[in-house]
Each structure stands twice: as structure tokens, then as C-alpha cells.
A and B are shown apart, each in its own frame.
Chain A
Amino acid sequence: MTVDTKLPYDRSYIEQFSAERNEPEWMKELRLNALDQAESLELPKPDKTKIGNWNFTRFKHVATGEKIASLTDLPAEIQDFFDVENLPENIVIQRNHTVAFAQLNEELSNKGVIFTDIFTALKEHEDLVKRYYMKDAVAVEEHKLTALHAALMNGGVFVYVPKNVQIEEPLQAVFWQEDPEVALVNHVLVVAEENSELTYVENYISNNKEEATVANIVTEVIAQDNAKVSFGAVDNFAAGTTTYVNRRGVGYRHATIDWALGQMNDGNTVSENVTHLIGDGSVSNANAVTVGRGKQIQNFTAKIAQWGKNSDAQILQRGVMKESATSIFNAIGKIEHGASGANNEQTSRVLMLSEKARGDANPILLIDEDDVTAGHAASVGRVDPMQLYYLMSRGITQEEAERLVIHGFLDPVVAQLPIAAVKKQLKQVIERKVN
């Protein structure tokens, strides 16, 4: 079978798509320009995973979804994302490509906080979006998938926190692909101005076990001087979705960007999580977990590049592989010349639950500066029989002992997720995937 890599949508389609949404001229131009580039650009080349014949181009581009009157009208699988007793105040629910429900605490909006879908943001906050959209973090022309993303972006949210505003309540986004064939080309743009603080958590979910479609996600997080962004995510696309997800952060002086990613897709996935620590004293903790099952192939890259003096970078990856799943974990620490006093630590651990599963952890340190500290640890192993023996010697069955060891193995990352309900939901997904 040859794979058709011809682009699925042409200029006139994009012009019309953009016009229907009353997008500003610059956005339409950005899309058209991206489409031209997508023709000639190549696919990204994730280390040790061949994606040449993965489906990134065959999909249905748009679908609408019904609005809902209240969060309690959602199906149970979506309600799992929140504490029903204590519903979130700040939430956007995107159902296919319709905003089904959105609300933001009034006090926050009075302070100038913006939390809205990307199309509304293009209308109401055009200058801000234009200032940051695919400028400082992700560029259109990086490769075919970023260009395709820019050309066909069909959903997403914009988060903006003004200078000196610290938000305690988390902002939550749910991207629900209800239509099994529709693609999600989602763009999340988070801008934290000087000395601001926010927590954002997103959930992706779909149910297309058979139907083939695509998720092409670009997330840009900008943390200005002294800003603090805590970013959590649970990705849960079904087996039919091929996912490219690029989450990128840029941190300026004394900024902090923390990531806690639960990467629970059932389909083939390429995930890049890259943070640029530009400013002196900037910090990033990149935490990610995954459970691979079935025949899925996944490639996870976590990279932190440091320009800032005394910047601090920590990467923690944990993966459990069962059945015939294959995963590559690349942890990359890059310290640029001049980033004196920088520290970079990375740990990647993979737990193999079956003979047929494959896991590979590649820690990489690239250092162009003398005055730095760095370290890495990587391991691929099986459940330790001595641990099982110890637990079983207390009366715990083998099955339960294995469950404890596996959850325990993932816990250091799961515990980082900022919203209790999302943490619980991630635990449930893990439970379903490992048993």
C-alpha cells in the first residue's frame, strides 16, 4: 500500500474556511503561506522511529458539536475530568470544533485574564494573538506537520494572564473529539506576562477505535520575566488517531514552566515537549508518563535548551510498555555557551511488562559551556521479582502486587498533575490501560 501524502485541502478551501470564521487578513495569509510550504517540507524525523508511512494527511477537517447548558449534561466519560461536587469555574469545552461550554470567573476577567477559544481570541484580542501565534516558540516552517498545522488549524484556546496577576484556581480545557473521523488541528497559546502565575490543564479525548484520523497539536507557552506556568495534560486519543503533539515553552528571566503530561493515547504518537530557558534563573520541570499497549508505536522527546545563566532543567520520563507496544524516549538537555551555572538533570525509566514490548531510553546531554552541572539516568527493566516477593509476603496477591508496583512506578509523575480530579482521572486511565 502506498501512502498518499498529497495535501488533502487546497488554497480555495482554506480561503473559504478562513472567511467563514471572519479571520483577520494576516491569519488567512499565514495559513496560505503555510499550505505552500507544507507541499515541499519534509516530515519531522523523530530519533529511532520511522513515521514515513503514518497517516498525517487523510482526515475529515471539520465537524460541529452540540452545545450544552451545564457541565452536568456531559456524558460520564467527560464528567470524569472534574469533581462534580465542586465544578470548575474556569473551563472551555470544545466538542468537535464547537465551543460547547465556556466560563471564566468574573473576577479574573475583570483583572484582564483571557481564557477563550482561539477563534474568539482572533476576533477580540487580535493584536495579542498576532504578537505570539507561531512566532517565538514554534515556527510554521519547521517541517511538514507544523506547516500543515498552521494551514489547517481548526480549534484551540488562548490563555492570557496580565502582568502581576496570579491565578490560584486552575484553568481547564477539554478537547472532545466526538466525531470519530474528524481531525483535531488544535492550537493552544498560553501567555503569562511579567510576574504572573497560572495553572492550566487540558484533556484530549476521542473514541475512534476503528476510524482513522489525525491529531496535529501545537502548544506554545510564553512565560515572561518572573512568570510561573504550571501546565498539565492528559492525552487520551483512541487507537484510530495518529497524533503529532508539539508542546513548547519559552521562559524569560526567572520564569518557571512546569509540565506534567499524561500521554495515554492508544494510537501512534509523536510527542515533542521542548522548553527554551532563555532568561537567567529560569526553571523548567518536564514530567511525562505513558502506558503503551496493543501494537502502538510512540516516540517521546523531552528537551530543555538553556541559554540563561543559573537556569535549572529537570526532565523525568516514565513509561510502562505492555503487549507489543514500542516506545522511544529521548531526553535531551542542551546547555548553550554562556549559560554558566546551569543545571540539567534527566531521568528516563521504562518498565516492560511483556516479552514482545519494546522500550528504548536515550538520554542526551549537549553542553557548550564549562561551568555547569548535569546528570542523566536511564533504565529499561522488568518488574523486580524481589519487590513482588516482598509485597506478596504480606499477603498481597501477585496481581495486586504488580498493580502496586506499576502504579508506584508512574506515581512520581502522576503526582505532579495540578488538578486533583484530573490526577484521579489519569489514574483511572492508567488502571484501564495496564490491566
Chain B
Amino acid sequence: MAGSTLEIKNLHVSIEGKEILKGVNLTVKGGEFHAIMGPNGTGKSTLASAIMGHPKYEITEGSILLNGEDVLEMEVDERARAGLFLAMQYPSEISGVTTSDFLRSAINARREEGNEIPLMQFIKDLDKDLDFLEIDQSMATRYLNEGFSGGEKKRNEILQLMQIKPDIAILDEIDSGLDIDALKVVSKGINKMRGEDFGCLIITHYQRLLNYITPDFVHVMMQGRVVKSGGPELAHRLEAEGYDWIKEELGIEDETVGQNA
């Protein structure tokens, strides 16, 4: 089978009784890179969280399917083992758990009991990815995200992506807070994942990330919906002209989710 398919249909999501997503439709297939752009507060992270199963978000309507299976019926860990991955905008700090112990647990969670990854192989693979992402070896023995700089957290998310090798990954502002060298390294990591068996949804505000990772599709979110889709040229136009032309085109005055078109 060539890759997985994630289908989001008419997705409505509320948080604390307030509707934030108002009918999102989107399909991501293995081999495809999608970018989602959009002003602040338009529902991008909400979409990512709803797909992963964040406990605070309530799905009020619509569906999410992974290879035809109902994702909304799955617990968070089941979604991950089914092939989904979310690089979070604000990763949690887990005191007392080293990056390496955590990664080994995550990898072994995907394997049958009794078929855990051999320690030597794990160390070898980890070293390779650390080198590739130009991460200091010491990060492996540091507590997960604790005291990491913003950039280190983002690199660590990509390290996890490379180690876990999901089928479909959502990257929420993986480029925020990165210096130019880190941006290149992180992009290199994401590009290395490219292939028939890997689909990716990249949430970003900036074209500069898309200079390194060329998306196949670009979507714009406003008011809790995907309001426009296109190819890489759409991102270039947004970079040059901002969002006003889209708002004008669609007659939107306030793009945030509190408003209705």
C-alpha cells in the first residue's frame, strides 16, 4: 500500500462551549506535503489538536478518518500508533524523564511485547539522527524539554518525528523561534522524511520555511474554516501581499473565529 490517507470532513470543534472550527474539509495523502497558513487565532492549532485528540477539544460535528478508520473513536495513544504524529506548538516539559528513555518507550509502544528494539540498535539510530539534526549528544540524557531553549524544543520535536517515523505528521509552527541555521536543519529533517509513505501538514506563518520545504498544496484558514487552497504560488502571494486580498475576495471583515462570514 502506498501511504496513508487522512480525511477531515466538515469538522466542527468547540472548546469550553465556544465553537472554533466551523466545518473544515481537508485530505492529506502519503507522499503529499500540505501547508496551512492563516492569521493568528483562526483555528490552525485547534485543527491540529482535534486531530491528535487533545482532551480539551470537543468534536461537535464531522469526521476524521485515517485509511477509512474512525480516528475520533480512538484514544490519543491509539491515534499515534495508528500512524499520526503532532509536533506541538508548545511541547510539554517532562521532568525526570530523559529524551532517550522517552524515545525508547515511544518506539517500543509500537512494537509487540517481547519484540522491543535492541538497545544497541536504538542507540545507533538515535546517534545518527542526533548528528543529522546537529543536536548535541547530551540532549539524549537531558530531561525531555526541561530547560530546553525554544529552538532546542523544536529540534527535539523533529528528532522524535525521525525516530518514530509516522505515516502522517502535523507540524504546528515548527519554524517559530528558530534561527536561520536551525531552520535549515529542521527543514533538512522534514525533507528526509519525504516519500510515498509519508504525508505532512505544515502549519506556518512564514514563507521562509516553505523556501526550504516546498509544499504541494497551500491552504488558508480564517474563521475556523479553510477558505482558500492552491499551490506553492499561493504562499508566495501571501508573503508579498498579506491576507487582505483574500478577505476582500471573500467579503470577510474579521478573520478570527469569533466571527461569521
Question: Within 8 Å of chain A (Cβ to Cβ): is B139?
Answer: no
Q: Do A392 and B77 have beta carbons less than 8 Å apart? A: yes
CB distance from B54 to the nearest CB of A (A): 6
Q: Do A384 and B92 have beta carbons less than 8 Å apart? A: yes
Question: Within 8 Å of chain B (Cβ to Cβ): is A408?
Answer: yes
In the complex, chain A residues 372-424 whose Cβ is within 8 Å of any chain B Cβ: 384-387, 389-398, 400-401, 404-405, 407-412
Give per-residue flags for B182-212: 1 if the beta carbon is below 8 A from chain A beta carbons, else 0: 0000000000000000000000000000000
In the complex, chain B residues 79-117 whose Cβ is within 8 Å of any chain A Cβ: 79-81, 85-86, 88, 91-97, 101-102, 105-106, 109-110
- How far apart sit A391 and B53, CA to CA, in the bound complex (Å)? 12
Question: Within 8 Å of chain A (Cβ to Cβ): is B75?
Answer: yes
Q: Do B96 and A410 have beta carbons less than 8 Å apart? A: yes
- What residues of chain B have their CB less than 8 Å away from a CB belonging to chain A? 52-55, 75-77, 79-81, 85-86, 88, 91-97, 101-102, 105-106, 109-110, 143, 160, 164
User: Which of B94, B95, B164 has a CB less than 8 Å from the CB of A412?
Assistant: B95
User: Which of A394, A404, A405 has a CB less than 8 Å from the CB of B80?
Assistant: A394
User: Which of B75, B95, B160 has a CB less than 8 Å from the CB of A398?
Assistant: B75
CB distance from A419 to the nearest CB of B (A): 20
User: Which of B81, B96, B101 has a CB less than 8 Å from the CB of A409?
Assistant: B96
Which size class do A's interface residues fall under? 20 to 34
Q: Do B109 and A394 have beta carbons less than 8 Å apart? A: yes
Q: Which residues of B contact A385 (CB under 8 A)?
A: 55
Q: Do B92 and A387 have beta carbons less than 8 Å apart? A: yes
User: Which of B54, B97, B110 has a CB less than 8 Å from the CB of A395?
Assistant: B110
Max chain B C-beta neighbours (<10 A), residue from A384, A391, A407: A391
Q: Do B110 and A391 have beta carbons less than 8 Å apart? A: no
Q: Do B94 and A408 have beta carbons less than 8 Å apart? A: yes
Q: Which residues of B contact A397 (CB under 8 A)?
A: 77, 109
Q: Do A398 and B77 have beta carbons less than 8 Å apart? A: yes
On whether A395 and B96 interact (CB within 8 A), knowing A389-B76, A408-B143, the answer reads no
User: Which of A386, A389, A393, A408 has a CB less than 8 Å from the CB of B97?
Assistant: A408
Q: Across the two chains, which residue of chain A brings its CB closest to B103?
A: A394
Q: Which residues of A contact B86 (CB under 8 A)?
A: 393
CB distance from A178 to the nearest CB of B (A): 34
- Pick the 9 closest A-B CB pairs, nearest first: A408-B96, A411-B96, A395-B80, A390-B92, A408-B97, A394-B106, A392-B76, A395-B109, A392-B77
On whether A400 and B109 interact (CB within 8 A), knowing A385-B55, A409-B96, the answer reads yes
Max chain B C-beta neighbours (<10 A), residue from A392, A394, A409, A412: A394
Q: Do A393 and B80 have beta carbons less than 8 Å apart? A: yes
Q: Across the two chains, which residue of chain A brings its CB closest to B80?
A: A395
Q: Do B96 and A393 have beta carbons less than 8 Å apart? A: no
Q: Across the two chains, which residue of chain A brings its CB closest to B145?
A: A390
On whether A396 and B109 interact (CB within 8 A), knowing A390-B88, A404-B102, the answer reads yes
Q: Which residues of B contact A407 (CB under 8 A)?
A: 96-97
User: Which of A391, A395, A410 has a CB less than 8 Å from the CB of B94?
Assistant: A391
Q: Do A389 and B94 have beta carbons less than 8 Å apart? A: no
Q: Across the two chains, which residue of chain A brings its CB closest to B143?
A: A408
CB distance from A435 to the nearest CB of B (A): 16
CB distance from A284 to the nearest CB of B (A): 23
Q: Across the two chains, which residue of chain A brings its CB closest to B101?
A: A404
- How far apart sit A395 and B52, CA to CA, in the bound complex (Å)? 11
Q: Do B94 and A392 have beta carbons less than 8 Å apart? A: no
CB distance from B227 to the nearest CB of A (A): 28
Q: Across the two chains, which residue of chain B brings its CB closest to A412?
A: B96
Q: Which residues of A contact B94 (CB under 8 A)?
A: 387, 390-391, 404-405, 408
- How far apart sit A410 and B95, CA to CA, in the bound complex (Å)? 9
User: Which of B52, B77, B79, B143 has a CB less than 8 Å from the CB of A396?
Assistant: B77
Q: Which residues of B contact A394 (CB under 8 A)?
A: 80, 85, 102, 105-106, 109, 160, 164
Other than the known A385-B55, A390-B92, A393-B88, what 19 A-B pairs have Cβ atoms closer than 8 Å? A389-B54, A389-B76, A392-B75, A392-B76, A393-B79, A393-B85, A393-B86, A394-B80, A394-B106, A395-B110, A395-B164, A396-B77, A396-B80, A396-B106, A400-B109, A404-B101, A405-B97, A407-B96, A408-B95
Q: Which residues of B contact A386 (CB under 8 A)?
A: 92
Q: Do A404 and B75 have beta carbons less than 8 Å apart? A: no
In the complex, chain A residues 347-385 whose Cβ is within 8 Å of any chain B Cβ: 384-385
CB distance from B49 to the nearest CB of A (A): 9
Q: Across the two chains, which residue of chain B brings its CB closest to A413?
A: B96
CB distance from A395 to the nearest CB of B (A): 4
Q: Do A404 and B95 have beta carbons less than 8 Å apart? A: no
Max chain B C-beta neighbours (<10 A), residue from A387, A392, A410: A392
CB distance from B183 to the nearest CB of A (A): 23
- How far apart sit A336 and B250, CA to CA, in the bound complex (Å)? 73
Max chain B C-beta neighbours (<10 A), residue from A386, A389, A395: A395
Q: Do A404 and B97 have beta carbons less than 8 Å apart? A: yes
- How far apart sit A57 and B75, CA to CA, in the bound complex (Å)? 53
